[in-house]
Amino acid sequence: MNRRIDIFRGDITKMQVDAIVNAANTSLLGGGGVDGAIHRAGGPAILEECIKIRNRQGGCKVGEAVITTAGNMPAKYVIHTVGPVWSQSNKQANELLANAYSNSLKLAVENQVETIAFPNISTGIYHFPKDIAAEIAIKTIKEIISKHQQIRQVIFVCFDDENYSIYEQLLSYQCGN
Ligand code: ADP
């Protein structure tokens, strides 16, 4: 079955969708985790565009998003967003994580994207609790796609077993995907 919100276990760089989302950092200059994997798979064209954006607007703030080519990957675009670093004292972390998802989708809509794949933003090096992050991700995506029929499919790409089972459980309890 082809659901409007779906999950996939594996590597986001291989996804055949219009846009994949990168969990980048504010420098836009690449890093570890999914960011490193995307730059390696996509090749130097991505970093070249990131540097141009950085020169124009000074990187990307937490919760915001920018768009580049996907270089050598099957997708057309990479939407780079920056999730918050988790800490007990970061009171705005939940809101900033929701912004990262919603601003990525808004940029997708502006660029005629119909299919998009998200990694589990902030749940790696940035240490966001995976269950809370998944709830925020699903709630935010549902809100936005209900207003934009143009988005035909959103795929949550889970790289680790824990995230996959959290998403599987949360989505199976919710009807109407
Ligand atoms: P952040 O700094 O936002 O936490 P990370 O890249 O460290 O970003 O991790 C975000 C999520 O991306 C983690 O759940 C991690 O397991 C996952 N991840 C790492 N590599 C890939 C990949 N190639 N495809 C999809 N997800 C990945």
The CATH code of the domain that includes 111 is 3.40.220.10
pLDDT at 3: 84
Identify the pLDDT of residue 91: 87
Catalytic residues: 35
Domain count, the chain: 1
> Regarding beta strands 5-9 and 153-158, do their DSSP bridges make them parallel or antiparallel, or are they unpaired?
parallel
- Ligand 1 mean position to 123 CA, how many Å? 7
* The pLDDT of residue 88: 84
Give the range of the structural domain holding residue 134, as residue numbers without chain letter: 5-175
Is 68 near ligand 1, meaning CB less than 6 Å away?
A: no
Say which residues have a Cβ less than 8 Å from residue 125's Cβ, sequence separation at least 6: 31, 32, 33
pTM for the full predicted model: 0.96
Count other Cβ atoms within 10 Å, centred on residue 91. Answer: 8
Tens-level pLDDT at each residue, the chain (177 residues): 458 999 999 999 999 999 999 999 999 999 999 999 999 999 999 999 999 999 999 999 999 999 999 999 999 999 999 999 999 888 899 999 999 999 999 999 999 999 999 999 999 999 999 999 999 999 999 999 999 999 999 999 999 999 999 999 999 866 544
What is the rounded distance in angstroms from the CA atom of residue 160 to the CA atom of residue 143? Answer: 26
Atom of ligand 1 nearest to the CA of 83: 3
- DSSP codes, 57-89: H-S--TT-EEEEE-TTSSSSEEEEE-PPPP-TT
Residue 21 Cα to ligand 1 midpoint, Å, equals 11
